[in-house]
Structure 1
């Protein structure tokens, strides 16, 4: 299933809303020439919020690796105040984008998990699928692709 999606172009619906001052360019038609990291998560999932805290730490530790990568943490939630409360409580400072209608998943047919991680090229085509958090092999793949 994963290999079938490599190279597939991802669309960003107009229903996405940047949060906490983040103005992600990946949500527009503008092509910036940068790789893009997209982490889509269910904001009602406590374990997913814990995973976001790990992302926060991972990006700080690997700052040089992600220096020229657009970071996009897309959140869907039926209980947005729950998500906001938990993010404030954990002191996570990531560029969040709210998907109030779950259109990112629907339009891109990404139904596999509550937390989906994609690395996209400058044309929004999938280069890697999967999280490097807690996965050494994926960390190496990310380092290889982002160092090229």
Structure 2
């Protein structure tokens, strides 16, 4: 059973990775499958980084553990609005019996507080400035593998971020609910490009790009969803399927951040052989 679970997870991840990444990913998944996660003896939890609350790590059949390190763009990693949607979905399916435990390793407490307030995220979180949680467990240094679904003994059942990868999200829901999905017949979809250039964008300005998807296969393409590498990117579409031989449009909006060059991605999921494909968006934010 353990080997089957490892292979299922690796299959979901490897479709979106280069061949050189395969062994590294397989090694990480094998190492963490069934591994027990340990919590610090004394962890201080707050609401939005301000009000300390008497919070204990819940005992439950399952829990989701989210660790976020301080490397890179914190806002990009967090995507808290998407976490709120996922938490609501899990609560609805599991009658509120699956707690979420958040550890944020960040020395920039002010920035983190601002993000939590901006996104109205009022769930208990631990701002672990001493990195004690990571020191106990030595988590992978790749964001993709810093989120875990664990059992009652805090042993890892699924590793991966369900916000950044919809295939991983499916594994979470399957483990939690036992839901089985009937696979759809696959088709082929080609975007009009794989790279899109926004050019020069003014700070705090918004720019849009149209992405045209062509169904070049013989089956109906049914979109499962779209993820973004950063919450500065949003994707809009008013359709859920593309008939064979037809096309549809995604509108990809970017809200400019700090001045300088930027590179962002979106990943489209659906009934295609690779399960998903990723598109690149780049440009420069002027001062």
Range class of TM-score, shorter chain? 0.7 to 0.9
The alpha-carbon distance between structure 1 residues 75 and 134, as it changes in their structure 2 partners (threshold 3 A), is closer
Bigger relative CO (Cα 8 Å, ≥ 6 apart): 1
User: Which runs of no fewer than 5 residues in structure 1 stay unpaired?
Assistant: 27-31
Secondary structure of the residue that 2:171 maps to in structure 1? Answer: helix
Which residue does the alignment assign to 1:12? 39
Task: Give the counterpart of 1:38 among 65, 68, 73.
Answer: 65
Number of aligned residue pairs: give it.
Answer: 142
Task: Give the counterpart of 1:52 among 80, 89, 111.
Answer: 80
Q: Residue 147 of structure 2 contacts residue 160 of structure 2 at CA under 8 Å; is this kept in 1? A: yes
Q: Are 1:113 and 2:145 an aligned pair?
A: no
The alpha-carbon distance between structure 1 residues 133 and 46, as it changes in their structure 2 partners (threshold 3 A), is closer
Structure that is richer in helix per residue: 1
Whole-angstrom distance in 2 between the partners of 1:118 and 1:111: 11
Per-residue Cα deviation, 1:110-142 (whole angstroms, up to 9, x for no partner)? 032247111111001111100122423212211
Whole-angstrom distance in 2 between the partners of 1:89 and 1:68: 27
Q: Residue 80 of structure 2 contacts residue 119 of structure 2 at CA under 8 Å; is this kept in 1? A: no
User: Which runs of no fewer than 5 residues in structure 2 stay unpaired?
Assistant: 1-27, 48-52, 179-287
Per-residue Cα deviation, 1:2-55 (whole angstroms, up to 9, x for no partner)? 1221111110012421112371424xxxxx233110111136722123x22211
Q: Where do 1:87-98 residues align within 5 Å? A: 87-98=116-127
Secondary structure of the residue that 2:91 maps to in structure 1? Answer: coil
Which residue does the alignment assign to 1:65? 93
Whole-angstrom distance in 1 between the partners of 2:63 and 2:30: 19
Say which is worse superposed, 6-15 or 63-72, in terms of deviation: 63-72
The two structures have a TM-score, normalised by structure 1, of: 0.83
Per-residue Cα deviation, 1:48-98 (whole angstroms, up to 9, x for no partner)? 23x222111222244323521121111111111111112101212322122
Task: Give the counterpart of 1:137 among 167, 178, 185.
Answer: 167
